Amino acid sequence: METSAGSPPGITATRWFRTAAAIFFVALWGSAFVPSKIGVLASSPLWFLVVRFFVSGIVALGIALALGAKWPRGRRAWILIVALGVLANAMYLGFTYEALRHLAAGVGSVVTSSNPLLLAIVAPAFLGERLTPWKLLGLLLGFAGVVAIMIGRSGTGTAEPRDVLLCLIAVIGSVASTVVFKKFLVQIDVRMTTALQLFAASFALLPFAIMLEGAPHATWGVPIVAAFVYLVVVMSVGGSLLWFWLLEQGEASRVTAYYFLSPVFGLLIASFFGEALSIHDLGGLVAIAVGIAIVQRS
C-alpha cells in the first residue's frame, strides 16, 4: 500500500486504517477454522451451515433495516446478490466444511490463502486491475510461503489430496464472489447485500443438506453452541460486513493479498489445540509477510 511523506494526513490515516482493518479481518478469518471444525465434528456439517447462514441473515437484516439500509432495486441486482451468496458462502464454506471432516484446521487456513494468487490471475481481465511485475513477485513469494508450509506438512495425514482439492474448489468460489461483488455490487448498500446473500447461501445449501445428510443431528454442548454463536456474530455478520467494506475501499488484488496472513493466525490458533508448529511453518510465514509488503508497495 503506497504512502509518502507528501500525502495529506487524512489520506495516510485512512490507508493505515484500511491496512489495520484488513489484518484484523484476516485474523478473524484465520480464527474461524477451529470453531468451524468443532461444528463439523459435532453436527451435520451442511445442516450446520444452513442454520448458521439463516440465523446470520436474520441478524444482519435486522441490523441493516435498523440502520436504514435500502432494499436492492431491479431483478438484476437480486440475481447478482444470490450469485454472491452462492459463491461466497454456499460454495466456499460448503466445500471447506466437507474438507474439514478430515483436513487439519491449520492446513485448511493455509490452502485458502491461495486466494490472492488466483484472483490476481483473473483481475486484469475481469476487474481491470494491473498485474505489475512487483505485484506478481510479491504474490508469488507469498504463495511460495504457503507451499513451503504445505510441503512441511505433507505425509502427516493432515492434508490428503482429496481434501486439499475440495478446499481449492472452495477458493475458486471465493475468488468468483470477489469478482461479482467488485464488478457489479459495490453501488448497492453493503449492509443489505450482506444480509440477503446470507439468506441466498442458506437456501442454496438446503437441498444438498437434505439429500446428503438426511435429518440433521448434533452433539449438544458448550463447544458447539459457542462455536455457532462465534461464527454467526463474528464471522458471518461482522466478518462479511468488514470484508465487503474493504473491497469497496481498494483494489481487490491488494485487499486479498492479506489472505496470505491467514496461516499466521490459523496455525497459531490451531497450535493451541494440539497442531504443532514446525520450522517449515515459520519459514513459510516469513515469506508470506515479505510478499504482502511487496504487493502493498507495488
Give 172-218 pLDDT, tens digit per residue. Answer: 999 999 999 999 998 899 999 999 999 999 999 999 999 999 999 89
pLDDT for 265 equals: 73
Buried b / exposed e across 74-90, counting CB within 10 Å, b at 16+?
Answer: eeebeebbbbbbbbbbb
Question: What are the CA-CA distances from residue 221 to residues 111, 191, 265, 274 (Å)?
Answer: 30, 32, 26, 21
Nearest alpha carbon to residue 29 among 150, 87, 110, 85? 110
Q: What pLDDT band is residue 5 in, cutting at 50, 70 and 90?
A: very low
Query: pLDDT for 243-284, tens place per residue?
Result: 999 998 888 888 888 877 776 676 676 666 666 666 777 777
Look at residue 146 in the predicted model and tell me its pLDDT: 73
- pLDDT digits 0-9 by tens, 40-91: 889 998 999 999 999 999 999 999 999 999 999 999 999 999 999 999 999 9
The CA angle 100-140-270, to the nearest 5 degrees, is 30
Range in 4-13, 162-171, 213-222 the model is least confident about: 4-13
pTM for this predicted structure? 0.83
Element (H, E) at 250: none
User: Which range (31-35, 259-263, 291-295) has the least confidence?
Assistant: 259-263
With CA atoms as reference, report the closest residue to 49 among 63, 32, 30, 61: 32
Question: Three cell numbers at 210?
Answer: 437434505
**Nearest 5°: phi and psi at 128?**
70, 25
